[in-house]
Amino acid sequence: MHGPFDTLCVARAVMQPGEAHLRLHEFNFALEPDATPVVVVRFVRPGFDIQALEALIGVEVAMSLFEDRAEITHLYEGTVTVLRADSVSAEAAADDTQDYLERIRELDEAVARLHADLRNASHKEHGALSLAIELLRRAEIKAAASEDLMSRQAAAIAVLERLIRHYRPEV
C-alpha cells in the first residue's frame, strides 16, 4: 500500500522492540469490517520514541510514505512530523476489537452528552410552561377586575393559552 493518504485519524500507536506500528482510520465508521480499511504503518528499527507517536493520537492528518520515513501533516495546525526508520511500509487492515471498543466508548460519551442536553432542554421547557401558567393566572385575575381590563387582557390570555396548549396538548 502506497501513500499519500489524506484525511486520516491516528487511532493508536504501539512500540515493540525493533519496530513500531501506527494505526490510522477514516473518520467515518462503517458497520461492515472491510468497508473502511484501517491503514497500519509499520516502522522497522524506528529512529523515534513512543512520545512522537502518542502526540499524534486522535489527530486528523495527511501522510506521505517513503522507504525510510513517513511525513505526517497535522491538517489543522499545518505542522509536519517526520518519522524515520530503516524501513517503512503500510498495509490495509480491517477494524479490530480495540477499534470497535473505542467506537463504543465514543458512542457512549455521545449518548451521555445528548442525555444531558435533553435533560437541560426538558428542564427549560418545564420552566417555560410553569411561567406561562403563572402569567395566565395573573392575567385572568387582572382581567376579572373590570370589563375594561378584560378587553385589554384578552389578547394576552389568548397567546398564553395557545402557548400552554403547545406544551401540553392534552389541556
Phi–psi pair at 2, nearest 5 degrees: -120, 150
Query: What integer pLDDT is reported at residue 3 of this predicted model?
Result: 59
User: Which structural domain range is residue 59 located in?
Assistant: 5-95
Average pLDDT over residues 103-121: 93
The DSSP symbol for 69 reads E
Domain boundary among 95, 122, 138: 95
Answer yes or no: do 31 and 60 share one domain.
yes
Report the distance separating Cα 150 and Cα 94, nearest Å: 72
Report the distance separating Cα 120 and Cα 6, nearest Å: 39
Residue 85 pLDDT > 90, yes or no? yes
Report the distance separating Cα 69 and Cα 20, nearest Å: 12
Answer yes or no: do 146 and 83 share one domain.
no
What is Dmax (Cα atoms) for the chain? 94
Answer yes or no: do 87 and 129 share one domain.
no
Answer yes or no: do 118 and 163 share one domain.
yes
Answer yes or no: do 140 and 68 share one domain.
no
Query: What integer pLDDT is reported at residue 51 of this predicted model?
Result: 86
Find, among 19, 37, 20, the residue nearest to 28 by Cα: 37
- Residue written as cell 522497522? 44
Answer yes or no: do 90 and 127 share one domain.
no
Answer yes or no: do 86 and 111 share one domain.
no
The DSSP symbol for 168 reads -
Report the distance separating Cα 26 and Cα 74, nearest Å: 14
Q: What is the pTM of this model?
A: 0.62
Residue 7 pLDDT > 90, yes or no? no
